[in-house]
Amino acid sequence: MDYKLLAKESLSGYRVLSAAIENLTQSIGDIDRRLASQELSQKEHLEERISLCAQRAHLESILAYRRSGKERIDRGLAVLTPEQRTILDRFYIHRTDHYLDDLMDELGYERRSIYYRHNTALRDFTVAMYGLSED
C-alpha cells in the first residue's frame, strides 16, 4: 500500500480517533461507577459484575489500541515545523471547503508551492510516524 495513502487516512481520521478515545474512556468510567454502586440485587450482583468486568476489559483493549494509534500520529506531527503541521492540519484534520485558498492567504504561497510543501510535510510525517530513517 502507498505510504501517502496510509498517512492521509491516519490524519483524516485523527478527530474521530480522538473522539473515540474520549467516548471509550467515558464508557469505562460509567462501568466503574456501576460496579461501585449498590443498585444490583444480590442475585443479579455476581452475574452482572462478571458481565460488566468482561465488557470493561474489552473496552480497555480497544482503548489501548486507539491510544497507541493516536500517539503514533502525535509523534509524527511533533517532528514537523509549525508550517508543516498547519498544512497537514488544513488538508486532512480540519479541512474546510476553501482550505487551499485559506492556506495560500495565510502562508503567502502560490498553489504550486503549497502542494510542494504539503508533499514534503506528508513525507516527513510518515517517516517520523513509522520510525524510518532517511539514511
Q: Does the pLDDT value for residue 9 go beyond 60?
A: yes
| Cα–Cα distance, 32 to 21 (Å, whole number) | 16
Instruction: Write down the domain spans for the chain.
Output: 3-129
Per residue in 54-93, pLDDT tens? Answer: 999 999 999 999 999 999 999 999 999 999 999 999 999 9
Q: Does residue 87 contact residue 125 with C-beta atoms inside 8 Å?
A: no
Instruction: Give 82-91 pLDDT, tens digit per residue.
Output: 999 999 999 9
Per-residue pLDDT reduced to its tens digit, 82-122: 999 999 999 999 999 999 999 999 999 999 999 999 999 99
| Identity of the amino acid at 74 | D
pLDDT at 42: 60
